[in-house]
Structure 1
Amino acid sequence: MVNRRELDPEAGPAAAFGARMRRLREEQRWTQEELAEKLGYSSQHVSAVETARKPPTLRFSRKLDQVFGLASSTDTLERDWRQLRHSALLEGFPEYVKYEGQAAEIRLFQIGLIPGLLQTPEYARAVAEGDVRRGAITPEQADERVAFLANRQAALVRPRSPMVLVVMDESCLHHTVGGTAVMDHQLQRLVEVASLPNWVIHVSPFGIGARRSFDLPMYLLTMPDLSVVAYAESQLRGHVERETAAVLPLLTAYHQLQAEALPQAASVAMIHEVRKGTP
């Protein structure tokens, strides 16, 4: 088959939906064009959903169930769509985490919240419970999110631990999460981690203004083969980028941000000052 794009169901809920859709289509020996005709959609739309370039809609999922004879079953594509809509993890993030677990160097920029890899369990739980109160996720999904983060943190402890370089916007230190006791322990955790040989922590102060390179979280991974993987996210989804032409400008911007940020000693001093404001 020409230009067949391989699917990774573990890359996220949309990828899992598309992989199942392709499997069901191929079991019927239908082409994308034939399925599109049965659905009343264009073949381009079918291809985009199947390869996770476009998210499915409720109407599209129900049409698939009708065409594949799943409408009266308990394992419908509509059910998969609802799980996709309410997934605890942002689309694209599971794919990123697979690379993170193998990276030789990890570079992070975070704004507003302490980066996940540095969060204490209490801080992570408070963040997840905030999302529950807003109705963004369920309590069960909050548990899933906290457990997923704990596994990410544990994956950093390996025979050859990665070098982790973190730039935090100053807002991360002032955004109170979980109350003063939780924040006190979280800030102490930052100080402790900064003393480890494979961690470097910088604070990007408010004073750098427009010289801050990024307005959204940014993750850059250097892999053992020296290739670089980038991950960025919006409010709706995350995106993994591996093309060198797209990644290198992001790496340059990160280096520029590090140059503008406070050195580690000054960053730790700022964390101590902020911590003095907590009981």
Structure 2
Amino acid sequence: MVNRKELDPEIGPQAAFGARLRRLRDSRGWTQDELADRIGCTGSHVSAVETGRRLPTRRFAASCDRALGTGDQLERRSLAVRQTALLEGFPEYVTHEGRASEVRLFESGVIPGPLQTREYARALADAAALRGDITPEQATERVDYLIQRQAVLARTPSPLILAVLDESCIRRPIGGADVMDAQLARLVEFAALPNSGLQIAPYSMGESKPFVRMVYLLTLPDRSLMSYVESQTHGHLDREPSSVLPLVRNYHQLQIGAASQAESVAMIENLRKGTL
């Protein structure tokens, strides 16, 4: 076929969806126009989704499932793609996180996604919807996306997950007393897992704390490194050793200065009891 664009599903969820749709369509011997006729759109629309130039809506994906006889396969896959409320680079980061051998997390202000309870995540998403940052539908999708992300991290063999949380993460009340207490209990449960590490970076670290915003670091099965950092409006995924290695060094410095896991768990338990 002339000018047929090669698709790389490893680029991210959007590319993976497009590649999957093309494989399913090709296996039935249909052209893009033929699939489009069956689902009520245009061949150019199908082309745009397959090549990653347009996001698949839930309706589009469900229509493709019906036409191709794939149950709800594409509709479920579209959930990972349709995260328009997420910053650029984050869905791609999550794809790599799902196959990493080591995941290192630092957060300030909020509990990192992999450790959140559904209720805590829901409170954050609903607040974003009330501010008008996202729609109520996107709030629901954001929570569902998080739960799927957590399920992937629970795979066997399990990745090593290390989390250093700024003290503000456990002190900032989210969702009310019951939601916050359940979230703190979840942190204690996480710390007890054999493939985890949890530390609190106390306020007393002051200026020695190397990070002020979230930083996620991945070690992939081939031992290559990757980082993901965010500002309020931008996300940045980086694979360059010259950029990532200084963050790894800073993370080690953060771990040295943070409270030990035993001290961190005690801090959380005392906070739950109201004695801290």
Paired position in structure 1 for 2:185: 188
Residues 218-257 of structure 1 correspond to what in structure 2 (within 5 A)? 218-257=215-254
Instruction: String of CA shifts for 1:63-112, please: whole Å, max 9, x gaps.
Output: xxxxxxx9xx9x99xx969x99x922211101101110000000000000
Q: Distance in 1 between matches of 2:11 and 2:241?
A: 23
CA contact (8 A) 1:229 1:247 kept: yes
Deviations 1:164-189 (A, max 9, x none): 00000000011100000000110011
Secondary structure of 1:213's match?
coil
Query: Aligned runs of 1:127-166 on 2, under 5 Å?
Result: 127-166=124-163
**Mapping 1:9-158, distance limit 5 Å:** 11=12, 87-158=84-155
Output the CA distance in 2 between the equivalents of 1:12 and 1:117.
18
Q: 1:9 to 1:223 in 2, by over 3 A?
A: closer
Which SS does the other structure have where 2:200 is aligned? strand
1:239 partner SS = strand
Cα separation, 2, equivalents of 1:232 and 1:170: 19
Shift of 1:127: 0.6
SS of structure 2 residue aligned to 1:202: strand
Number of residues paired by the alignment? 217
Q: After superposition, give the CA deviation of every residue in 1:172-224 in whole Å (9 maximum; x if it has no partner).
A: 01110000000011001111111111010000000000111111100000111
Structure 1 residue 237 displacement after superposition: 1.9
**Cα distance in 1, alignment partners of residues 159 and 192 from structure 2:** 15
Cα contact 1:88–1:144 (8 A) shared by 2: no
Quote the Cα distance in structure 1 between the aligned partners of 2:265 and 2:156.
Answer: 27
Question: How many angstroms does 1:277 deviate by?
Answer: 2.6
Q: Distance in 2 between matches of 1:8 and 1:214?
A: 33
Alignment gaps of 5+ in structure 2:
1-6, 19-41, 58-80
Give the aligned residue type for 2:191.
A
> Which residue matches 2:204?
207
1:216 maps onto 2:213 in alignment = yes
Contact 1:12/1:93, CA 8 A, preserved across alignment = no
Query: After superposition, what is the alpha-carbon deviation per residue over 1:23-69, rounded to whole angstroms, capped at 9, x for unaligned?
Result: xxxxxxxxxxxxxxxxxxxxxxxxxxxxxxxxxxxxxxxxxxxxxxx
Q: 2: distance between equivalents of 1:199 and 1:9?
A: 27
Change (3 A) 1:215 1:7: farther
> Offset at 1:235?
1.2
CA contact (8 A) 1:111 1:171 kept: yes
Q: Is the 8 A contact 1:11 1:93 kept in 2?
A: no
TM-score by length of 2: 0.71
Answering whether residue 257 of structure 2 is matched by residue 267 of structure 1, we say: no
Aligned-pair CA distance for 1:8: 6.8
Aligned-partner SS, 2:217: strand
Look up the equivalent residue of 2:217 and give its one-letter code.
L
Alpha-carbon distance in structure 1 between the residues aligned to 2:219 and 2:108? 21
The amino acid of 1:251's aligned partner reads: V
- Where does structure 1 lack aligned partners over 5 or more consecutive residues? 1-5, 20-69
C-alpha offsets along residues 116-140 of structure 1, whole Å, 9 cap, x if unaligned?
1000010000010010111100000
**TM-score normalised by length of structure 1:** 0.71
Conserved? CA contact 2:13–2:95, under 8 Å: no
Q: Taking structure 1 as reference, are residues 140 and 215 closer, same or farther at Cα in structure 2, changes over 3 Å only?
A: same
SS in 1 for 2:127: helix
